[in-house]
């Protein structure tokens, strides 16, 4: 990215110091950065001791065959033991592990002792189904306790799980089952979404008719909605399908965990990526759990005896793996697990849950924060949110206005907001403020965590000076790094390690500000070239969202004969704002004022909704198709494909 574009960057001057009381009691202080800088591997070896090992590792990192890392290679441990049994052994069996809140309003709390019994029963059930160490198990579930139990049961047996998001289609499930060569699928009749049962089992039936899925011998089905299967279009295959309550409930609640090598595969998780077939990201045992546990302790300042933690992600994403299952449970946390959508049955549902359980730490995504902003300040104001003390954000760059709104309207103007940058591939948080240490800047993930080495480089791999932009790279291996792409080492090398020699290429644009703090600018494919200037879609979006009448914005570069690309913005207006030509002009002028005239959008289209993937990321590719008057590309990973019809119906026939 050229430096000239950076002269025009959004100026964000607001600063927020950590609350003194939090800083005084913080789990991690500034000293950790010094400690890790002095001896990075020694630092991680210390963090590994957060875990209980059956055989303590004597080695930390084996990087003799880069970029294929081995962490703590001669150590042995069991992940489920670390997440469940050891807490019970330490006298914490009566502590609540999960407060489950179903969408229809049913709720259920499981203590660590209860979780231990359930995980043991499920592990025994999988053994009865013939699951052996190393067998892959696909999990296609709603957000219910059995999902967490199933993951932990797999981990307990050393059977790598591959969780497939419950919102994905039969096709997506089939591709993933086939690629991982799964032997068992764990699913449910369905889950509740938007006030009604949403079936899952029919998609499993369909997926398992596809070639390449023949090795699946059993389908274990949780009864969640109780909807008659035939009514939902599912058929029961005798000999293959088995009800969870029939098989699991009759098992013994005793099971002795076996210790596995630190590099034993823990899970495969597919990332869709923008092109090509999904990549099966492989994570292993000891390094992954070390970093998931440490970062959860450090970034959220988790005090397991008093905090009530809630991560709103779906377990189908890596955020759910690391910050619903493995991080929090390894730390003995009490957490909320919520099945449904934030606006069912009303737009205050999340805040009602925060109030009900006294949630202290909340971790969510910018897309959800912007939706809440759009619904209005008066909704969270109706609830008591005073228990909250740390707020987190993840998934995409958070616009400064959304960050500030989050702190003010959810965090009562006092809580730190930690903007955490990481990826499925990194396994755990990499760049983030620490709530008791960092003076935060709205919109910036700021600093690599202790023990993490990240920087920003230019096209020639030179580190950029402060005040300049380029590409985010990771310069040293880290414990929870992906080990490869399942079955495709070459693709692992090509995708992440070939762009810059010896450095991990994350695929994100970033800049360093005058203090050297990191600002993420979105995927590099989302950078626009306008009259020779590189302009980040994220920055134009943030400029638009900083206008009081704009709730959300998505910006794309459309091919343009004069300027190479022209900036085209799609905006969702805040409730009540009238859309007229005057407003469009006002918004264009606003962006020009914020970022400079070069960043002024050529076109601005007010729309009712934006196309998003099921993980909440805006699908700019589809908006580019619209902006360039092309037929739409693949819409199958959209949450709601009718959104595109709505947008198209609003367009003037030709620009």
Feature table: binding site for ATP: 395-397, 419-424, 508, 523
Tokens coding 324: 């619903």
Query: In angstroms, what is the minimal distance from the CB of 650 to ligand WT7?
Result: 28
CA distance 516 to 519: 9
Torsion of CA 211, 213, 218, 222, to 10 degrees: -100
Q: Residue 461: how many CA atoms within 13 Å on its side-chain side?
A: 11
CB of 151 to ligand WT7, least distance (A): 17
Going by the annotation, the residues of the binding site are 193-196, 319, 395-397, 419-424, 508, 523, 531, 545, 547, 550
Q: Are 504 and 465 in contact (CB under 8 A)?
A: no
**Between 36 and 506, CB nearer to ligand WT7:** 506
Token output for 180: 């991982």
Of the candidate spans 63-71, 87-95, 151-159, 416-424, the one that interacts with ligand WT7 by CB under 6 A turns out to be 416-424
CB of 636 to ligand WT7, least distance (A): 17
Q: What residues from 611 to 630 belong to the interface with ligand WT7 (CB under 6 A)? A: 615
How far apart are the C-alpha atoms of 149 and 125, rounded to whole Å? 12
Q: Which two tokens stand for residue 77?
A: 């441990």
DSSP string, 194-231: TTEEEE-HHHHHHHTTSTT-TT--EEEEE-SS---TGG
Q: Is 419 in the site for ligand WT7 (CB under 6 A)?
A: yes
Choose the stretch contacting ligand WT7; rule: CB under 6 A; options: 50-58, 293-301, 382-390, 392-400: 392-400
Q: List the interface residues with ligand WT7, window 37-96 (CB under 6 A).
A: none
CB closer to ligand WT7 out of 57 and 316 = 316
Minimum separation from the CB atom of position 615 to ligand WT7 (A) = 6
257 to 316, contacts with ligand WT7 by CB under 6 A? 271
Residue showing tokens 């960043």: 599
> Is 445 within 8 Å of 431 (Cβ atoms)?
yes
Q: Return the H-helix or E-strand segment holding 80.
A: helix 79-80
Given the rule CB under 6 A, which of 74-82, 122-130, 418-426, 556-564 is the region that contacts ligand WT7?
418-426
Of 209-268, which residues contact ligand WT7 (CB under 6 A)?
A: none
Q: With b meaning 16 or more CB within 10 Å and e meaning fewer, what string describes 318-343? A: bbbbbbbbbbbbbbbbbbbbbbbbbb
* Contacts of range 524-530, beta carbons closer than 8 Å, 24 or more positions apart: 524/471, 525/274, 526/620, 527/1, 528/555, 528/556, 528/557, 528/565, 528/567, 529/557, 529/564, 529/565, 530/557, 530/563, 530/564, 530/565, 530/566, 530/567, 530/598, 530/599
Q: How far is the CB of 613 from ligand WT7 (least distance, A)?
A: 9
Q: What is the closest distance, in whole angstroms, from the C-beta atom of residue 214 to ligand WT7 in the complex?
A: 30
Nearer to ligand WT7, 357 or 403 (CB): 403
Using CB under 6 A as the binding rule, whether residue 186 contacts ligand WT7 is answered as: no
* 99 Cβ contact list (under 8 Å, min separation 6): 107, 109, 308, 334, 335, 336, 337, 357
CB-nearer residue toward ligand WT7: 229 or 266:
266
The full 3-state SS of 480-498, as one line of letters, equals CCCCEECCCHHHHHHHHHC
**Among the residue ranges 112-120, 204-212, 400-408, 414-422, the one whose residues contact ligand WT7 (CB under 6 A):** 414-422
Residue 601 backbone zone (phi > 0: left; psi -120 to 50: alpha; other: beta): beta
Min dist CB 314 to ligand WT7, Å, is: 11
Site for ligand WT7 (CB under 6 A): how many residues?
Answer: 21
Stretch that binds ligand WT7, among 47-55, 106-114, 419-427, 574-582 (CB under 6 A): 419-427
Which CB atom, from 225 or from 290, has the smaller least distance to ligand WT7?
A: 290
Q: Least CB distance from residue 269 to ligand WT7, whole Å?
A: 9
Q: How far is the CB of 271 from ligand WT7 (least distance, A)?
A: 5
* Single residue of 420, 438, 455, 484 touching ligand WT7 by CB under 6 A: 420
Nearer to ligand WT7, 242 or 445 (CB): 445
Instruction: Write the binding mask 310 to 349 for ligand WT7: x where contact by CB under 6 A, - elsewhere.
Output: -------xxx------------------------------
Distance from C-alpha of 601 to C-alpha of 544, rounded to nearest angstrom: 10
Compute the least distance from the CB of residue 394 to ligand WT7, in Å: 5
Min dist CB 152 to ligand WT7, Å, is: 20
Residue 570 touching ligand WT7 (CB under 6 A): no
Q: Closer CB to ligand WT7, residue 135 or residue 396? A: 396
Residues 427 to 466 in contact with ligand WT7, rule: CB under 6 A: 445
Binders in 490-529 for ligand WT7, by CB under 6 A: 506-508, 520, 523
Query: In the complex with ligand WT7, which residue's Cβ is closer, 76 or 296?
Result: 296
3-state secondary structure of 407: helix
For residues 501 and 461, is the Cβ–Cβ distance under 8 A? yes
Between CA 165 and CA 270 the distance in angstroms is 10
Summarize the annotated binding site for CoA as residue ranges. 193-196, 319, 531
Nearest to 545 by CA among 615, 443, 638: 443
From 299-307, 345-353, 390-398, 481-489, give the range in contact with ligand WT7 by CB under 6 A: 390-398
Cis peptide before 434 (omega within 30 of 0): no
Q: Is 423 in the site for ligand WT7 (CB under 6 A)?
A: yes
Measure the CA–CA gap between 477 and 290, rounded to whole angstroms. 14
Q: Give the separation between CA 195 and CA 186, rounded to whole angstroms.
A: 24
Q: Residue 378 CB, nearest distance to ligand WT7 (Å)?
A: 28
Residue 421 sits in the site that holds ligand WT7 (CB under 6 A): yes
Backbone angles phi, psi at 428, to 5 degrees: -155, 170
Least Å distance between CB 250 and ligand WT7?
38
Query: How far separated are the first and last CA of the chain, in Å rounded?
Result: 29
**Which residues of the chain form contacts with ligand WT7 (CB under 6 A)?**
271, 317-319, 394-397, 419-424, 445, 506-508, 520, 523, 615
């Amino acid at each position: 990215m050229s430096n000239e574009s950076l002269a025009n960057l959004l100026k964000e001057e607001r600063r927020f110091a950590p609350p003194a009381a939090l800083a005084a009691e913080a789990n991690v202080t500034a000293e950790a950065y010094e400690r890790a800088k002095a001896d990075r591997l020694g630092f991680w070896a210390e963090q590994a001791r957060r875990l209980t090992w059956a055989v303590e590792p004597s080695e930390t990192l084996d990087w003799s065959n880069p970029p294929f890392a081995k962490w703590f290679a001669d150590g042995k441990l069991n992940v489920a033991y670390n997440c469940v049994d050891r807490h019970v052994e330490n006298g914490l069996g009566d502590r609540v592990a999960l407060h489950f809140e179903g969408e229809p309003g049913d709720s259920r709390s499981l203590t660590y002792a209860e979780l231990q019994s359930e995980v043991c029963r499920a592990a025994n059930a999988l053994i009865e189904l013939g699951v052996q160490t190393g067998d892959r198990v696909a999990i296609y579930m709603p957000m219910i306790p059995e999902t967490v139990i199933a993951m932990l049961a797999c981990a307990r047996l050393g059977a790598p799980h591959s969780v497939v998001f419950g919102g994905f289609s039969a096709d997506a499930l089939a591709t993933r089952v086939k690629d991982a060569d799964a032997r068992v699928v764990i699913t449910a009749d369905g889950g509740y979404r938007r006030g009604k049962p949403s079936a899952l089992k029919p998609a499993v039936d369909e997926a398992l008719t596809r070639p390449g899925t023949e090795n699946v011998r059993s389908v274990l089905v949780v009864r969640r909605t109780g909807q008659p299967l035939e009514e939902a279009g599912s058929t029961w295959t005798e000999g293959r399908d088995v009800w969870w309550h029939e098989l699991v409930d009759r098992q013994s609640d005793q099971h002795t965990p076996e210790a596995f090598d630190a590099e034993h595969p823990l899970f495969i998780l597919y990332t869709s990526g923008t092109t090509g077939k999904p990549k099966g990201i492989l994570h292993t045992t000891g390094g992954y759990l070390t970093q998931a546990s440490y970062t959860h302790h450090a970034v959220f300042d988790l005090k397991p005896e008093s905090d009530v933690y809630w991560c709103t992600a779906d377990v189908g994403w890596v955020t759910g793996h690391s910050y619903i299952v493995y991080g929090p449970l390894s730390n003995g946390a009490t957490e909320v697990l919520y099945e449904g959508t934030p606006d069912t049955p009303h737009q205050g549902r999340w805040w009602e849950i925060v109030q009900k359980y006294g949630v202290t730490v909340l971790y969510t995504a910018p897309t959800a924060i912007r939706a809440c902003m759009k619904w209005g300040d008066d909704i969270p104001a109706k609830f008591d949110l005073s228990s909250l003390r740390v707020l987190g954000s993840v998934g995409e760059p958070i616009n400064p206005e959304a960050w500030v709104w989050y702190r003010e309207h959810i965090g009562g103007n006092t809580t730190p907001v930690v903007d955490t940058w990481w990826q499925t591939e990194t396994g755990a948080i990499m760049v983030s403020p620490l709530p008791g240490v960092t003076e935060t800047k709205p919109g910036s993930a700021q600093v690599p965590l202790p023990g993490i080495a990240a920087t920003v480089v230019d096209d020639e791999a030179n580190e950029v000076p402060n005040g300049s932009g380029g590409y985010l790279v990771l310069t040293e291996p880290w414990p929870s790094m992906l080990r490869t792409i399942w079955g495709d080492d070459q693709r692992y090398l090509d995708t992440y390690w070939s762009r810059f020699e010896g450095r991990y290429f994350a695929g994100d644009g970033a800049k360093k500000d005058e203090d050297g703090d990191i600002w993420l600018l979105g995927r590099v494919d989302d950078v626009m070239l306008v009259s020779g200037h590189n302009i980040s879609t994220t920055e134009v979006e943030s400029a638009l969202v900083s206008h009081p009448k704009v709730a959300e914005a998505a910006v794309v570069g459309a091919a343009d004969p004069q300027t190479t690309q022209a900036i085209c913005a799609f905006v969702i207006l805040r409730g009540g704002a009238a859309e007229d030509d005057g407003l469009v002009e006002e918004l264009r002028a606003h962006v020009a004022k914020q970022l400079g005239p070069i960043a002024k959008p050529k076109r601005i289209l007010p729309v009712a909704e934006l196309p998003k993937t099921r993980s909440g990321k805006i699908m700019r590719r589809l908006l580019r198709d619209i902006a360039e008057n092309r037929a739409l590309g693949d819409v199958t990973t959209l949450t709601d494909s009718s959104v595109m019809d709505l947008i198209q119906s609003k367009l003037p026939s030709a620009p």
